[in-house]
Chain A
Amino acid sequence: MQNSEVKRDIELVGAIQKGIAETDGVVTEIGEKLLDCVNLLRTEQSDDVFMALSEGIKNLDYLMEFVREVRKGVEHLRLRGYDISMEPFACWDDSLDIFKEMLSAFESKDWVTLSDLIQYELPQILGEGRQGLSAIRDRLMEL
């Protein structure tokens, strides 16, 4: 292994660790903001609620994009021979169906289903996802 490659691996590990650390608080915030929307979504249809909801869903999209980037990075490290399990990503894979369902409910204006998913499914998904990202970060720290 050349020094420059090792250096790039270290940089990549650092970037992933930093990203996960910064995202940790964001995941909680996204969940909380969407939960705030739920009660209002069940009771009123003001522009503010829809703006907050759109913002929340957009942030979820960014989060998924970030997770995809992390996955690419981890896959790259695995190809480089590092022993990192892909298991922590499983919960994010499972959440894809729920996110699709959320998007479909949003598009068809099925606010009850969207609220149900945000209120009853999303907290668990985000909680498990956060733990998954933490597990990756912890493993990367061990390298």
Chain B
Amino acid sequence: MMFEDNIGLLRSTDPELASLLSASGRREGLQELSSREGLPSIRAGSITLHSLYDPLKEAESWIEHYRERVDGAPEICVLGFGLGYHVLELCRSTTADIVVFEPDMGILKAAFELMDLASVIPRVRFVTGTELPRLKKGFVVLEHIPSVTLNPEYFKRMRYMLSVLGSIRRGLKIMVVGPIYGGSLPVAGYCAKALENLGHEVEFVDNSRYKDIFLSIDRITDNKAHQGQLKEMFVHFVSESVVARCGEFKPDLVFALAQAPLTGDSLQKLRDIKVPTAFWFIEDFRLMNYWQRIAPFYDYFFTIQKGEFFERLRQMGLRNFYYLPLAASVDTHRKATITEDEMKTYGSDISFVGAGYHNRRKLFEGLVDFDFKIWGNEWDLGSTLGRFIQRSGDRIGTEEIVKIFNATKININLHSSTYHNGVNPYGDFVNPRTFEIAACEGFQLVDYRSEMLALFKVGEELVCFEDLNDLRHKIRYYLHDPDKRMEIARKGNARVRKDHTYELRMEEMLDLVLSSGYELPPWHAEGEMVDTLVGAAGADTTLGRYLARFSEKGSLGLDDIVEEIRRGDGTLSDIEKIFLFMDSIKQQYTDRAKVC
């Protein structure tokens, strides 16, 4: 009866676990015991899970021990459930979210059979495997010692993963490597900004500084072979400079965007020194095949396509690849007030922003009877579309693009194709424009993509078209219904802000990295955890109080302390003088080692 009641509750919060538990048996050799007060306890092998004298008092003491950590924590992870006395007490003591890690289905089954868990189940997320759920910044970890003793390997792993996640949540050092030029360049900047917004220390390696030099290579010689060789040598130089920066910056993760100039040699060097690397391939794998060359060198490979692409990656023997759709930077792409003058410049019934790919040229020939503006480069000014092309086909900057999206009644968004004559009927990934127009609260008609339904409610948050006829029909319909346009644009905007920002993508990327065996690079071992140092010094000592100011940092080394002292002003304290003295000794030895 107890089991039925508990499992009924679990079914509404975690049906998958409910099914698993229903099908599970109790752990073999599990002894059901009774405390002096008649309350249930269990013993697995030689390990007793709860007091045989007073399990309730034991649970109260457990909470008291962790009181400081429980108070104010936004989320609490409990390692081990047993029969759940301590979790019952925790639910009474806090309103924080609770996640319980319990790998032993046999024990969980016993708990569901023996305990009334009505107050626990609706409050708790159970984790029975090794995948970490999304956890809030500032989460704390409490341990149920007997459960940990019973499954030491599992909890050792989870403790480590949670500790790494804690470091991630407190802030990692992340090097973002952008391309020399191209469409992924702004995305690299958005990712760097988003990671900063999430509290990470970011070094953005902006390789666009090399663009002019790189492109000038074509003018050195007309010989294609020589051009290729020179470009290869140049990319090698840029790539090595990234590795050199890693030595200085000591990143916890190198995150590279599509077309980032990192060679296999450089990536191998990073792998050799155990610096984790991730790559976001935000291109069409069917058009750009360099992924085959570079994917094996990255520890984590993110894509905007699944299906066949995943199959191909799998065939290459890769495992750590993940789907990560594009997004919008809502700091950049946002609703803007458009002046009358701006409206004259940027406004029109329909507009398109982007390069003149083959399919766009073909499809847009069918829209010449509309008030149409085309913005962007690579268009043929001498074609029938010539009179619609703004600024003689110059590239348009982001600020102006935001104004265009805001000023246009209907933004046309057609994913590029070099060989279709209009809409690519097999198109899968969703381009950045889709998210950006919505982030500006612009109304858009976008060609159907197979991934679109998973990202937006089509018809409610944006509108899709299938071909030219469908597009023309929808343009006419929505031009005459401004209220409907605004309603859809508002909903699209809300959806992007809720689900499709670069902050969310970067968070997801880091969560995926973490749950896939991420390990902090070796230079973390150079620093000690602040808590440990404070504990060793004594929390009430002058040194302990001084070190406690670094508690947000997680791990701490002499370099961090010296850097902080040098940033400060005023008279040096005695402790600061000692640290500077230690640093000067360290420098002397380092210099001597270099000489030797």
Which residues of chain A have a CB within 8 Å of any CB of chain B? 39-45, 108-113, 115-116, 119-120
Contacts and interface: CB of A to CB of B under 8 A. Distances in A.
Contact of A119 (B46, B50, B53, B145): B53
Given A108-B46, A110-B47, A43 B65 contact: yes
Given A45-B148, A113-B48, A113-B52, 12 more contacts: A39-B61, A42-B58, A42-B62, A42-B65, A43-B62, A43-B143, A108-B46, A110-B48, A112-B47, A112-B50, A112-B52, A119-B53
B51 interface: yes
Interface string B351-390: 0000000000000000000000000000000000000000
Interface range for B = 20 to 34
Q: Give the 8 A-B CB pairs with smallest separation, nearest first.
A: A108-B46, A112-B48, A43-B65, A120-B53, A113-B48, A116-B53, A112-B146, A110-B48
27 contacts: A39-B61, A42-B58, A42-B62, A42-B65, A43-B61, A43-B65, A45-B149, A108-B47, A109-B46, A110-B43, A110-B46, A110-B47, A110-B146, A111-B146, A111-B149, A112-B47, A112-B49, A112-B50, A112-B51, A112-B58, A113-B52, A115-B51, A116-B51, A116-B52, A116-B53, A119-B53, A120-B53
Interface string B32-64: 000000000001001111111110001001100
Interface in B143-175: 143, 145-146, 148-149
B66 interface: yes
Contacts of B66: 43
- A contact patch SS: helix
A53 to B, nearest CB: 13
A42 B47 contact: no
Contacts of A110: 43, 46-48, 146
A116 B66 CA distance: 20
B327 to A, nearest CB: 42
Nearest to A46: B535
Contacts of B58: 42, 112
A110 B31 CA distance: 14
B52 A111 contact: no
A35 to B, nearest CB: 12
A69 to B, nearest CB: 33
Contacts of A115: 51
